[in-house]
């Protein structure tokens, strides 16, 4: 199975950005862990701060399932929501922090309704749990 992990804005800063919220592990380091645990899967990774680039990547159709952390786009990107709606593959939305314990604007996801499941508040382990749910 090819799993695309797609991260939105500022998630390239994992490991250094607000470690009290997002932890101190970089995505690059965590990918090594994921790839060793799920060695029978091909894990593809893409991150962008640009909404259109994330949509373009989703439309490449070279994966079997997607794990998406839209970052700030979670709360207002109807374009990403529409793109997810038209993907007929398993989709899991992941949030490192518990978005329901954060500021009010972070508690609404416009993208979640177009995914099969949402994991929020499990830290980086949310990515692993998402992949497990896709097996």
Told to judge if 95 belongs to the known catalytic residues of this protein, a careful annotator would answer yes
64 labelled binding-site residue: no
133 labelled binding-site residue: no
111: how many CB neighbours lie within 10 A of its CB? Answer: 26
97 labelled binding-site residue: yes
Could you give the C-alpha distances from 105 to 21, 31, 48, 101, in angstroms and in order? 16, 29, 21, 11
116 labelled binding-site residue: no
Domains of the chain: 2-134 (3.40.50.9100)
Residue-wise pLDDT for 62-112, tens only, equals 999 999 999 999 999 999 999 999 999 999 999 998 888 777 777 789 999
Residue from 41, 76, 95, 127 carrying the catalytic annotation: 95
Residue-wise pLDDT for 20-42, tens only, equals 766 678 899 999 999 999 999 99
Identify whether the C-beta of residue 26 lies closer than 8 Å to the C-beta of residue 12: no
Question: Does position 6 have pLDDT exceeding 70, yes or no?
Answer: yes
Told to judge if 41 belongs to the known catalytic residues of this protein, a careful annotator would answer no
Question: What pLDDT, on the 0 to 100 scale, is given for residue 75?
Answer: 93
> Measured between alpha carbons, how far is 106 from 104 in angstroms, rounded to an integer?
5
41 labelled binding-site residue: no
Question: What pLDDT, on the 0 to 100 scale, is given for residue 74?
Answer: 95
Residue-wise pLDDT for 117-131, tens only, equals 999 999 999 999 999
Question: What pLDDT, on the 0 to 100 scale, is given for residue 56?
Answer: 98
Residues 6+ apart with CB under 8 A from 69: 5, 6, 7, 8, 11, 93, 94, 95, 96, 126, 127
Question: What pLDDT, on the 0 to 100 scale, is given for residue 22?
Answer: 64
């Amino acid at each position: 199975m090819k799993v695309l992990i797609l991260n939105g804005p500022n998630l390239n800063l994992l490991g250094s950005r607000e470690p009290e919220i997002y932890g101190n592990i970089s995505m690059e380091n965590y990918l090594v862990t994921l790839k060793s645990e799920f060695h029978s899967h091909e894990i593809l990774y893409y991150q962008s701060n640009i909404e259109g680039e994330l949509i373009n990547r989703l439309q490449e159709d070279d994966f079997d399932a997607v794990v998406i952390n839209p970052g700030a786009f979670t709360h207002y990107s109807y374009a990403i929501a529409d793109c997810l709606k038209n993907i007929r593959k398993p989709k899991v939305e992941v949030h490192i922090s518990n978005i329901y314990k954060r500021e009010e604007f972070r508690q609404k996801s416009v993208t979640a309704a177009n995914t099969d499941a949402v994991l929020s508040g499990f830290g980086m382990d949310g990515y692993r749990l998402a992949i497990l749910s896709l097996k």
